[in-house]
Structure 1
């Protein structure tokens, strides 16, 4: 029988983490706090800092064990915005009317606190035949080049491995337990520049206007039907997000014009196949108009899917046991660090209701924190059963 006194208080740990001002790329004391708590529970902790980013790897159990379950999450948070817009201190973890307020309350210090607390209690009370691993980064909200990627690079070098991984991002739209993420869409951004010849608007024949050419290109791109969706994904989307000349004069034809296009794509495509398609459209418009069009490309991640099976089944059973809901398996939303973990092992995401993430007065329902901890504890017990 579990000793109730020995239970790790996930609500208190969430509050302690919120009080750490860990706005990307600042560590803010969050990983120092977690390392102390985990080390005291018998976890072997290693700081895997890279490029000015703080990361923490914690393992309970022998390295290279035949069975190892991992959690991944981040303690860095986005900026608070205007302080005067907050009704409570954004790093105060103040409680009111059943809520805890603070930057990172939902995204995702509560998730980290819950899986850390669940892991501590599990290995302390029922030491498993295997390893429990926590890979926690301070670079999810930033460029994400030296966060989870650095942890995975270090793990490969050191012979560390997770068999399965659960990312604790907030996944539920409105009700606790309604959704898990079994994959994510890919994301890529094109930054186009059309180059013409500047001139007087009264003498357009002496100039070469790049604006109509780039407008033609983005109109064609916006009209593309990339696909009609796949088995686990909605249709891919393409959005024109900027169109700029930076031209303050109404009587000058500009020499350059720029536009930005963001694509969220499913597993019918890769970034390479979409790049070929988009650049072919740009080349066609350039040939038709005589305007030089170049681009700069940024790929945030490829689409991926963890096929429903052992991991998603364990998550579903635990969620249903604690909430009475069977979570929908979804691939909606933006990107997360699961896009990196999926190259290492099967990965699923499950966490809290995320309605207030990145908002002023970000807050977490106090009753959901112990509920999430219990879900993570059930998953560990199921895996090592």
Structure 2
């Protein structure tokens, strides 16, 4: 019986300096492992991004389980602040260190190892798909979306998908993500007329306008939450004028907000609200306000049911912990997968992700592999 070492595979992946958009050889490592186990591997590269699609079993089988994850990582920052080399994959006292140790090379290694061992030891009546991207930490324009576009064109289909992102806040097993809030940002540029501060009547000061607009937006209650989501939030993230003079009224200033929204709203409905508020303030202060909006992802929910039950059962069996079904946190590539099939997320504890000396307990990698293995076994039972 095959016994692929998920911790060793994690270390091999960490040694690949795959800071977005660089691949650093990470997908070569996975391609070699999966091809050797009978997976058909296809490189789906787009826009300078490397992605890997791997399938075991017949194409288009009615019962297909999918995993999704990423091998790209965020920059290391000040390397001199690291106690352990960011891409050294050093293990000390049962802890494996390195960029991507938590987010999420360990998750990819765990589900790849589980999939390889599963199809070799108990070949299922169905297919197993791994969709692995190198563009999750960046703009995500040519990563999982490229893989899903390829699948659509090639007639490939996952019936359900598990994204292996870190989901647990404190202990392995304590949280499964069944949805995510939507995310969007809006940039406001207020244009007035520059003038001398001693003669404000000869100018149009954009600063009171941006102050009023930001206050209106931040003071507005978007909603009170829903059955599965916390209340939506709006945060003012910057107000910029760049005016070093105390005797000059500037001609222009800018403000930016970020909104995390639940299923009460859509990106479109919130965009309309933001533009309406900007128009009201522009009229009140007799200035021009330009609005630029980017919706990073819509809110979504996979209602509790067969898929979340499948994952919960495996988590409980392997950890003794009953996971909470949650929609908290930021965005993930599940926001793209949800348009293809039912999707949930489950992975490691995320406390050290993106931090200096990012790390993961080696035993937790093995434990995560056992959870993924049980999920596969139960799904195809």
What TM-score, normalized by structure 2, do the two folds share? 0.99
| CA-CA distance at 1:203 after TM superposition | 1.2
1:226 matched to 2:227 = no
Q: Partners of 2:196 and 2:285 in 1: how far apart?
A: 19
| CA-CA distance at 1:332 after TM superposition | 0.2
Q: Partners of 1:246 and 1:65 in 2: how far apart?
A: 59
1:260 alignment counterpart: 256
| CA-CA distance at 1:96 after TM superposition | 1.1
Secondary structure of the residue that 1:212 maps to in structure 2? helix
Q: How many residues align?
A: 381
| CA-CA distance at 1:29 after TM superposition | 0.3
| CA-CA distance at 1:372 after TM superposition | 0.2
Q: Partners of 1:250 and 1:134 in 2: how far apart?
A: 59
Q: Which aligned pairs between 1:204-215 and structure 2 lie closer than 5 A?
A: 204-215=200-211
Secondary structure of the residue that 2:183 maps to in structure 1? strand
Q: Partners of 2:70 and 2:94 in 1: how far apart?
A: 24
| CA-CA distance at 1:97 after TM superposition | 2.0
1:316 matched to 2:312 = yes
1:194-238 alpha-carbon deviations (Å, 9 max, x no partner):
000011111111111001001100001000100000000000000
Match of 1:19 among 15, 21, 38: 15
Q: Partners of 1:257 and 1:34 in 2: how far apart?
A: 49
| CA-CA distance at 1:117 after TM superposition | 0.1
Q: Partners of 1:98 and 1:39 in 2: how far apart?
A: 30
1:174 alignment counterpart: 170
1:109 matched to 2:109 = no
- Structure 2 stretches lacking a partner, 5+ long: none
Q: Partners of 2:117 and 2:155 in 1: how far apart?
A: 26
Q: Partners of 1:368 and 1:261 in 2: how far apart?
A: 38
Secondary structure of the residue that 2:370 maps to in structure 1? helix
What TM-score, normalized by structure 1, do the two folds share? 0.98
Q: Partners of 1:251 and 1:383 in 2: how far apart?
A: 70
Q: Which aligned pairs between 1:47-86 and structure 2 lie closer than 5 A?
A: 47-86=43-82
Q: Partners of 2:196 and 2:372 in 1: how far apart?
A: 66
| CA-CA distance at 1:139 after TM superposition | 0.1
Q: Partners of 1:262 and 1:101 in 2: how far apart?
A: 32
2:377 alignment counterpart: 381
Match of 1:189 among 185, 189, 207: 185
Q: Partners of 2:196 and 2:46 in 1: how far apart?
A: 52
- Structure 1 stretches lacking a partner, 5+ long: none
| CA-CA distance at 1:81 after TM superposition | 0.3
1:160-199 alpha-carbon deviations (Å, 9 max, x no partner):
0000000000000011100010000000000000000011
| CA-CA distance at 1:275 after TM superposition | 1.0
Secondary structure of the residue that 1:367 maps to in structure 2? helix
Secondary structure of the residue that 1:241 maps to in structure 2? strand
Q: Partners of 2:190 and 2:347 in 1: how far apart?
A: 44
Aligned-residue RMSD, C-alpha = 0.5
1:120 matched to 2:116 = yes
Q: Partners of 1:295 and 1:284 in 2: how far apart?
A: 13
Which aligned segments of 4 or more residues in structure 1 are displaced greater than 4 angstroms? none
